[in-house]
Chains A and B, each alone.
Chain A
Amino acid sequence: MTRYVLKRILLAIVTIWVVATLTFFLMNMIPGGPFLSEKAISPQATAALEAKYGLDKSLWEQYVTYMNGLLHGDFGLSLKQRGRTVLEIIVTKFPVSAKIGGMAVLISLVLGVSLGCIAALHQGKFWDRFISVFATLGIAVPGFVVCTLLSYVFGAKLKLVSTLGLSDWTSYILPVTAIAFYPTSYIMRLMRSSMLDVLGQDYMRTAKAKGLSGTKQLFKHALRNAILPVVTYVGPMLAYTIVGSFVVEKIFVIPGLGGSFITAINGRDYTLIMGTTIFLATLVILMTLVVDILYKIIDPRIKYD
């Protein structure tokens, strides 16, 4: 097990390096640069800016400098948000996104798993149909529609909650709901089909024949097996959710990290593009590793070597 984990960590470092290298060269291929504005700034000022941030050097030199900095934990200065370091931006914004995203993941797990089970246990009956309609809707309606609708109905029309920033606990309701909407629906569907599959297995019949109680049947035999696909999904989903959502942050004015992914690219803020990408890649890889280890705990039949 330890050997396996060590091997995976080594592999993760290589993966992150590949991601960083690819991102570095790809982002430099898109036209434009960080110091452009509608009004042209003087060539002298542009040259001075490029010299200051080392953009006047060859791409290869820039790459070496960047990677060297990265090895020392230096993500560099943001090119657009003058005076702020990339690390500072990530460190201040990530907790905000993580808090909202974390709540959303928790809610979607609880709701998704329980409703998925209910639907499976009532296959073909009213509750199954009801839940399935809800799940399909949740998957089909895009996030920005959910956000706008929530903000309009509960914020602007009913004035029940604040739609502006995170001023009090009520202002968390809408963004968390909006973020949880899709994963809840997805987990519901995943759980339902996987549960149906498990319920039809021979060992379930054996369990029933042995005279095990319903709870034991469900939790010890069915759920443990049926939840595996959900675990697979939740790992990367958690990573993507806690780094924040551009749309949700924009609509509810939340100072999270999600917006930085998009604004960094739109503004060609090279160091911030690198920083956020590496950060997300690391999270995803980490979560996948955690999921793989969880697998082993949930299903001891899985062998790693």
Chain B
Amino acid sequence: MKTRSLTLLMAAAMTVSAVGCSSNNTSTNSTADSTAAATGDKKILSVQIGPNPETMDPALNSALDAGNMILESFECLLTNDKDGNAAPGAAESWEVSEDGKTYTFKLRDGLKWSDGTPLTSEDFVYSWQRVCDPNVAAPYAETVLSMVEGYDEAIAGDITKLNVEAPDEKTFIVHLSNACPYFESLAAFATLSPVQKATVEKNGDAWATAAETYVSNGPFHVTEWVPNSYILMEKNPNYWNAENIKIDGIKFNLIEDANAAYNAYNAGEIAFIKDVPTEEIASLEGRDDFFVAPMIGTYYISLNTEKEPYTNPDVRRALSLAIDREYLANTLMQGTYSPAGNFVGPGWMDTDGTEFYKNSNGGENFFKPTADIEAAKAALEAAGYPNGEGLPVLTYSTNDSGYHKSVAEYLQQAWKEIGVNLDVEIVEWASFTPMRRNGDFEIARNGWVGDYTDPSNILTLLYSTNGNNDGKYNNPEYDAQLDLASTTLDPKERSAALHKAEEILIEDAGCIPVAYYNDFWLENKDVVDGIWHSAYGYWHFEDAELVG
């Protein structure tokens, strides 16, 4: 009797699950069909460079990965070429006045938006003034436009005061209030992409959230955006250089989890992934689809110079000297970072067009790759703490992602060798940032990835009044050198001032540079060729070609 009832029960269960399965079949088949229809036989490059972007509006964006995607669908006046130099973009040529204060850009003939309507210099006037609009609240407004005449009035609300003009349909003129030697880099910055007035005014902030209203002018245009799933961009037939774009589109898979990205890469579903799980790196090294390339950015440690004992430069210097940067970058961080020899590392450009770090400190690195325990101890003794005696237990604050915790634990060990005891405090990211900014810390991890290759971009971080000067480093001499660099028109004088500033900073140990950022990624060369990486941390997929 028992057996019979059981059989019946099982039968019932199986019927129900069969019904469940069949409904499951019909609903999902339609999804599969729609995906296939969308991609068809087109040559779509499938990549992963980051999670779902918070915004794809050029003016509102402040993230690197979204900036990368924006620059695939928009084209600024200028672009950066493979060597990091300014190259024509929407503008085919440009001129700078003698005093360096007036830039005149000549747009290409017949530029069009992705919806086929003409793009004129008026569009740039609109877009640039929009960046200053307090109602738009663009996070990068100050970075990219503060040197333009009328910026202060514009940011206060009267955006027409921003002195940019369009005397005719193909000419766009920018008047600067002071010369800005790196202005060409800014003209290629994603924030200053042209946006179409018609769609922005009609749809408000929502214009950049749906494919239908996302009108752009770059090599690709967005045809589908499923939040947290993917963004599909297809070739923009109205792009001036469309004939040289060899792929039909790019699918940006919006994957947050590095392991998920790695699985999809291994399964052959994605040809390029940026987020590689750090625990896999040891096994990937030496493989021909694993790439590491430098980017302009420095991992550094901020010391709260307003608090004892960090007010004493000798203490700060001792902590810096006790770090084995070679071990930290190459062993602990598995070569995904490079040991920092300076604060301003490879990729940042000097005024003469060479790399800035090659001319620093007479061509020598400021920091030795390995720790100098003797010198560190001497510095500590000079500060009045022989062998760390009399020093309280120091506190290092960091959030827990990537290698941050490992670095903290390494510092514990390294500083122990000179008699310094360290507590590590792990803080959740969203709380960590305001805490560091408010100066509620003793020692904190910090980092900066450059917006443009001019060294002033990283050096101004330690300018006394800079919003990112978390350690509240304050040295009038340092500020004076940076002031000089921002006003002088003489490239040599400018270069000298920037180098002098870096020397002062390092002599003072105003912060402790630890490592340079690298980008590392997996790229299946059997599937794709022609992708290139810039020191800005951007990948250029517009030159890619599908092979095999």
Contact = CB atoms under 8 A, between A and B. Distances in A.
Contacts of A30: 430-431
A214 B3 CA distance: 9
Interface stretch (B53-61, B95-103, B281-289, B334-342): B53-61
A214 B5 contact: yes
A114 B13 contact: yes
A133 interface: no
A33 B6 CA distance: 58
A287 interface: no
Interface secondary structure of B, over-half rule: helix
B430 A267 contact: yes
Contacts of B134: 44, 48, 51-52
A250 to B, nearest CB: 5
Contacts of B6: 117-118, 121
A81 B448 CA distance: 24
A8 to B, nearest CB: 30
A255 B256 contact: no
Contacts of B25: 169
Contacts of A250: 256-257, 260
A22 interface: no
B201 to A, nearest CB: 14
Contacts of B198: none
Interface secondary structure of A, over-half rule: helix
Contacts of B268: 159
Interface string B214-254: 00000000000011111000000000000000000000011
Interface stretch (A61-69, A148-156, A234-242, A288-296): A148-156
Nearest to B16: A110
B257 A251 contact: yes
B391 interface: no
A192 interface: no
Contacts of B430: 30-32, 36, 266-268
A144 to B, nearest CB: 10
A281 interface: no
Contacts of A84: 206, 209, 227
B4 A82 contact: no
Interface in B265-279: 266-270
In this complex, the interface size class of chain B, counting residues with CB under 8 Å from chain A, is: 35 or more
A83 B209 contact: yes
Question: Which of B6, B10, B32 has most chain A Cβ within 10 Å?
Answer: B6
Interface string B129-145: 00000111111111000
A148 B259 CA distance: 8
A83 B57 contact: yes
A268 B429 CA distance: 11
A48 B135 contact: yes
A155 B16 contact: no
Interface in B426-441: 428-431, 433-435, 437
A84 B205 CA distance: 8
A218 interface: yes
A37 B433 contact: yes
A118 B263 CA distance: 38
Given A42-B467, A110-B17, A163-B264, A168 B142 contact: no
Contact of A40 (B10, B138, B468): B468
A166 B28 contact: yes
A111 B31 CA distance: 27
Nearest to B427: A31
Given A32-B433, A37-B62, A83 B139 contact: no
A107 interface: yes
B469 to A, nearest CB: 9
Contacts of A114: 9-10, 12-13
A48 B31 CA distance: 42
A59 B108 CA distance: 51
Interface in B412-467: 428-431, 433-435, 437, 447-448, 467
B512 interface: no
A151 B260 contact: yes
A106 interface: yes
Interface in A153-190: 155-156, 159, 162-169, 171-172
Nearest to A30: B431
Interface in B174-227: 204-209, 226-227
B142 A45 contact: yes
A169 B54 contact: no
Contacts of A266: 428-430
A11 interface: no
B227 A93 contact: yes
A103 interface: yes
A168 B57 contact: no
B267 A31 contact: no
B240 to A, nearest CB: 28
A172 B30 CA distance: 13
B351 to A, nearest CB: 24
Contacts of A83: 55, 57, 204-209
A169 B62 contact: no
A29 B428 CA distance: 15
A92 interface: yes
B32 A167 contact: yes
Nearest to A168: B32
Interface in A14-46: 30-33, 35-45
Nearest to A121: B2
B263 A167 contact: no
A103 B24 contact: yes
A168 B17 contact: no
Contact of A168 (B20, B31, B63, B137): B31
Contacts of B135: 48, 52
B479 to A, nearest CB: 18
A75 interface: no
Interface in B81-106: none
Contact of A36 (B8, B55, B433): B433
11 contacts: A43-B467, A45-B142, A52-B135, A82-B205, A93-B228, A163-B264, A165-B253, A166-B229, A255-B226, A256-B228, A266-B430
Interface of A: 30-33, 35-45, 48-49, 51-52, 77, 80-84, 89, 92-93, 99, 103, 106-107, 110-111, 113-114, 117-118, 121, 148, 151-152, 155-156, 159, 162-169, 171-172, 213-215, 217-218, 249-256, 259, 266-268
The 3 A-B pairs at the shortest CB distance, nearest first, are namely A169-B28, A83-B205, A168-B32
Given A31-B431, A168-B29, A253-B264, 6 more contacts: A37-B62, A93-B228, A110-B13, A155-B264, A214-B5, A253-B253
Interface of B: 1-2, 4-6, 8-10, 12-13, 16-17, 20, 24-25, 27-29, 31-32, 35, 54-55, 57, 60, 62-63, 134-142, 155, 204-209, 226-230, 253-257, 259-260, 262-264, 266-270, 428-431, 433-435, 437, 447-448, 467-468
